[in-house]
A and B are shown apart, each in its own frame.
Chain A
Amino acid sequence: MKKRPAFVVTSSMHIPDGFLSTPVWATLDVVSAPAVAWVTRRAQRDTQDHRIPLLGVMGAFVFAAQMVNFPVGPGTSGHLVGGALLTVVLGPAAASLVLTAILVLQALIFQDGGVLALGANIFNMALAGVAAAYLSYRLWGQASRSGAIFAAGALSVMTSASFALGQLLISGVPMTGGVFWASLGLFVISALIEGAITVAAVRSIERLNPAWVSGLQPESSRTVTGVALAALLLVVLGTLIASVAPDGIQRLTAQGVDSTTWLQRTMGGLAGIAMIFALCYLGGKLKSRRRSA
């Protein structure tokens, strides 16, 4: 008999219904719906007919691959999450689409994540997670392929999990400092595991047929990619800071308003995040314009 691992490190942060406050889930549903439409259009544009069954089967593959336990220490094992693997194999738009389909099925049929919280889960995993994986793969792909794939896996898990944690905190799910740091530590561990598993899985797929992983070539515009990745990571950090210490950002955005209702805290947090993102985006645009001029 195979010994079951005593402890499985799992990093899937599917938020069920009932945890997010109404402004949080409603905002993320409103944000995710057009984003999914956009991603679908992009995927449709660069997908030939024969790829439609492929996308579906790849979704089923990720489900199944999550059942394979990777031993990572005595009595401990982890498993593939798969966002970064899909991004490297299928490209970002198709990967987002496949992950969205998986999340819809998980919410409705497998009770893994809520229906109202679907927008939040799609945002965390299918949009932000894939963006983090794609940007890191593009940014570091030329320097070191394995390193880039490792970073793609680790950063995608870290991004999704941190966003989920931030959204829970902004919604007012209470958490003591100890629990907060413990969960961040757990995220770091599972992020490192996901990075290692993604590298091993991509290597073993490439050994069978290198053509399968050529879907995404690292391109040259590294500055824009780097700025975009930095912006994304800053937003992640901003969400966490906003959720733990909302007062600081609130002071920045709404001067003198000395109320701590959760609506204002949420708004303060979101405004802070939007500000950081806008600054980084503008910076990236300016820089790329100067380069192309």
Chain B
Amino acid sequence: MHHLVIDRWSRGSSSLHQRDPRAKLATLLAFLIVLSTTRPAAQWAFAAYAILLIVAVNRARLPILGLAGRAALVLPFSATFALLTWWSGDSLRALALAEKSFLSGMAALLLVATTPLTGWTAALESWRVPRMLILVIQFVYRYLFVIAEQAQRMRWAALCRGSHKAGGFRLAAGLVGVLFARSWQRADGIYHAMLARGFRGRFVPAAPPPFRAADVLFFSACLAGCLAVRILL
């Protein structure tokens, strides 16, 4: 499944994986801001951004096609609006819309494919994002696929009992109701399991690793690269 691939990628050991999550998150934001302020006419700049991303993916030893395929998930939405823009006669802008959204998606993926979830959430927490929000993000991610697989099993079970003949609105509502009940019970179970393991109302975060010279260098180099492309092309 989708998540397993990104989880596996994020546990790599390349030089990009070893950079501090804070440095990578800051780089992502810088890249996105530079990208978003690039004029549609500067088509060479978009090519240069793409090359920068390809170099980074290469350094991270990740499959470029796999990443590009996942980033292409944004394209249906972008393509709709790009077509509308095309029809209104602004083909350059249409092209830029599709390119910007694709490259942005690619950059965000590169972050999560080189940083485990605990890494980037710790970075967010060190930037004063409320801890409760961080906890909820971690819990949603942890149980996302558990509950989704449960929903899938329930759908198959309903199909086996002939839901495709009798099926309808009320059946789907019943499915959602039961899924809700099971999720609720699971949350109860999780809480009690946490209590049994000594949970006393808050998680004790691991001390963040020191921000090293290599991280500063990485961020500065990326920033310089993006700005150079933005200004020169």
B190-229 at interface with A (beta carbon < 8 Å): 190-191, 194, 199, 201
Which stretch of A105-113, A141-149, A257-265, A282-290 is in the interface? A105-113
- Among B28, B90, B109, B180, which residue has the most Cβ atoms of chain A within 10 A? B180
Query: Bound complex: CA of A174 vs CA of B80, how far in Å?
Result: 12
- Contact indicator B108/A108 (Cβ below 8 Å): yes
The 8 A CB mask of A25-60 against B (1 = contact, 0 = none) is 100000000001100110110010110111111111
Query: Bound complex: CA of A43 vs CA of B60, how far in Å?
Result: 39
- Contact indicator A71/B136 (Cβ below 8 Å): no
- Among A36, A70, A107, A212, which residue has the most Cβ atoms of chain B within 10 A? A70
**Which A residues are in CB contact (< 8 Å) with B33?**
116
Partner of B187, one of A36, A58, A102, A109: A58
- Contact indicator A17/B132 (Cβ below 8 Å): no
**A71 in contact with B167 given A17-B36, A53-B191 (CB within 8 Å):** yes
Is A224 an interface position by the 8 A CB rule? Answer: no
- Contact indicator A60/B143 (Cβ below 8 Å): yes
- Contact indicator B184/A54 (Cβ below 8 Å): yes
**Which A residues are in CB contact (< 8 Å) with B99?**
18
Partner of A16, one of B77, B168, B201: B77
Q: How far is the CB of A40 from chain B (nearest CB, A)?
A: 4
**Which A residues are in CB contact (< 8 Å) with B85?**
173-174
Is B56 an interface position by the 8 A CB rule? Answer: no
Q: How far is the CB of B91 from chain A (nearest CB, A)?
A: 12
The 8 A CB mask of A109-144 against B (1 = contact, 0 = none) is 111101110000000000000000000000000000
Q: B88 — nearest CB in chain A belongs to which residue?
A: A174
Q: How many A-B residue pairs have CB under 8 A?
A: 238
Query: Bound complex: CA of A201 vs CA of B183, how far in Å?
Result: 14
**Which B residues are in CB contact (< 8 Å) with A22?**
36-37
Partner of B130, one of A17, A40, A52, A104: A40
- Contact indicator A52/B136 (Cβ below 8 Å): yes
**A2 in contact with B159 given A57-B190, A68-B176, A173-B81 (CB within 8 Å):** yes
**Which B residues are in CB contact (< 8 Å) with A54?**
184, 187-188, 191
- Contact indicator B101/A114 (Cβ below 8 Å): yes
- Contact indicator A53/B190 (Cβ below 8 Å): yes
Which stretch of A93-101, A227-235, A238-246, A270-278 is in the interface? A93-101
Is B100 an interface position by the 8 A CB rule? Answer: yes
**A108 in contact with B130 given A53-B187, A80-B176 (CB within 8 Å):** no
B95-142 at interface with A (beta carbon < 8 Å): 96-97, 99-101, 103-105, 108-109, 111-112, 120, 130, 132-133, 135-142
Q: A56 — nearest CB in chain B belongs to which residue?
A: B139
- Contact indicator A16/B137 (Cβ below 8 Å): no
Is B41 an interface position by the 8 A CB rule? Answer: no
**Which B residues are in CB contact (< 8 Å) with A43?**
132
B41-90 at interface with A (beta carbon < 8 Å): 70-71, 73-74, 77-78, 81, 84-85, 87-88, 90
Partner of A208, one of B140, B178, B187: B178
- Contact indicator A98/B32 (Cβ below 8 Å): no
**Which B residues are in CB contact (< 8 Å) with A102?**
140
Q: B150 — nearest CB in chain A belongs to which residue?
A: A64
- Contact indicator B181/A16 (Cβ below 8 Å): no
Which chain B residues have a beta carbon within 8 Å of chain A's beta carbons? 2-3, 6, 28-29, 32-33, 35-37, 70-71, 73-74, 77-78, 81, 84-85, 87-88, 90, 96-97, 99-101, 103-105, 108-109, 111-112, 120, 130, 132-133, 135-144, 146-148, 150-152, 155, 159, 164, 167-170, 172-181, 183-184, 186-188, 190-191, 194, 199, 201
State the 4 A-B residue pairs at the shortest beta-carbon distance, nearest first. Answer: A56-B139, A18-B100, A204-B177, A200-B173
Which chain A residues have a beta carbon within 8 Å of chain B's beta carbons? 2-3, 14, 16-19, 22, 25, 36-37, 40-41, 43-44, 47, 49-50, 52-61, 63-65, 67-72, 80, 97-98, 100-102, 104-105, 107-112, 114-116, 168, 173-176, 179, 196-197, 200-201, 203-205, 207-209, 212
